[in-house]
A and B are shown apart, each in its own frame.
Chain A
């Protein structure tokens, strides 16, 4: 951190987002094959929820404000960016059309791990796209789209750490994670309750604890760890995936038909994104800078 100029002072977040997305503002990738083609709104079936959203003129997308590289809200400009954010915009485009600035049809609803399910069940958001791992417990509460991203849980340690190399090495150590996430539970499962979880409010706070030596490691989905490594290059990610984290988009369960056809619609939109290569483009734009690899589909 050096050379603070007016633009850069707060905009270290901008620099952050800039390295993740390359431009530093909202991004609209050039349309290759638009799903609907015309500049008018897509025709949707009358009885479906997506039609209701189209009529309402607004889709409420729930995501997290500080979840690099998936969703980041720049404090200075109030703009949202990231992989999840881009997917959200694509869904909005599938409802409201490619032609105009889709941003004016979107209401971004900030959520965190603890509130992402209530946000859906309490109808605060139409969809939640927030590194949301699909599991049975959650499926009892909400519906998920098909998998749009795959990752796993790994461990972040300081670069000079040699004692923690695999999940089992976490036993007896202080492992930091976010309160209310599946990550903290996975840590206990993987070490048979022998790890000592330090639960703070967010992963950046965990990174601080790691730096200060108050935590031996930070553990959560690899993609979030990528963002942390970017923030502090004096760390490294170790261990194989010790959990499978398939991400899905969260949607309210249809009660009395109020979400008819919505999950299918989202799934079809995702398939289109994958087959037209947009998914791969976004991966390269947001994930590749931190992970170093390229994927063309979620199942690569």
Chain B
């Protein structure tokens, strides 16, 4: 039975699945928070903020994620900095942080597009009614942005789930790691990798279907 090897090594695969989910969720939440803040910086009237936001986006998008992960783990480790005194917690947090910062750059671009997409007339009307810049953002821009931004965020989420596999390189026992360990103990590569594949698909295919549906329904006519 394909994937039957999961029952021979239940802890490895289930721990792998659970860690994948945890890093994905934490990473996505972090990415959304960071990305939104950066996007706001990029559309703000303050030039230094715009520049910092732009630099952040360009740097984190044009650098490979695995390099960033090694940096948070071994690079900062060389400076004596760790995310936790417990190494396994530390690498987990390094992975989640790396995911959040990397994907945050993509979120920032999406949110920025959404913010800019809000009809200028609305922005001007709000300001002429006496709303401060921040109030305008909070009551006019953001709510409308949210709607147009959900499908692309869903897509970023799917990419995030797949990218958690990179955490295996810094020692996090997620799904790909589980497949590699099982293969090294049993030499049954196909079985181990088919099992990991199935578990990944279990996460990405339903997400894909949901996002496809969201894309269809929320197609924003501008």
Contacts and interface: CB of A to CB of B under 8 A. Distances in A.
Interface residues of B, number: 21
Nearest to B185: A185
B18 interface: no
A196 B189 CA distance: 25
A198 interface: yes
Contacts of B185: 185
B88 A201 contact: no
Contacts of A113: 184
B203 to A, nearest CB: 23
A201 B171 CA distance: 9
B184 A198 contact: no
A92 to B, nearest CB: 28
A135 B55 CA distance: 54
Interface in A175-193: 179-181, 185
B78 interface: yes
B77 A214 contact: yes
A52 interface: no
Interface string A121-145: 0000000000000000000010000
Contact of A212 (B74, B171, B183): B74
A208 B87 CA distance: 13
Chain A interface size band reads: 20 to 34
Contacts of A179: 177, 180-181, 184
A209 interface: yes
Contacts of B184: 113-114, 179-181
Interface in B133-184: 169-171, 177, 180-181, 183-184
Contacts of A198: 87-88, 91, 171
B187 interface: yes
A217 B74 CA distance: 16
A180 B181 contact: yes
B169 A201 contact: yes
Given A174-B88, A198-B87, A212-B74, A114 B183 contact: yes
A117 interface: yes
A11 B177 CA distance: 34
Nearest to A212: B77
B90 interface: yes
B190 to A, nearest CB: 12
A44 interface: no
23 contacts: A114-B180, A117-B187, A118-B189, A179-B177, A179-B184, A180-B180, A180-B181, A180-B183, A180-B184, A181-B184, A185-B185, A196-B87, A198-B87, A198-B88, A199-B181, A200-B170, A205-B74, A209-B87, A212-B74, A212-B77, A212-B78, A214-B73, A214-B90
Given A199-B171, A212-B82, A213-B77, 4 more contacts: A117-B187, A118-B189, A174-B88, A198-B88
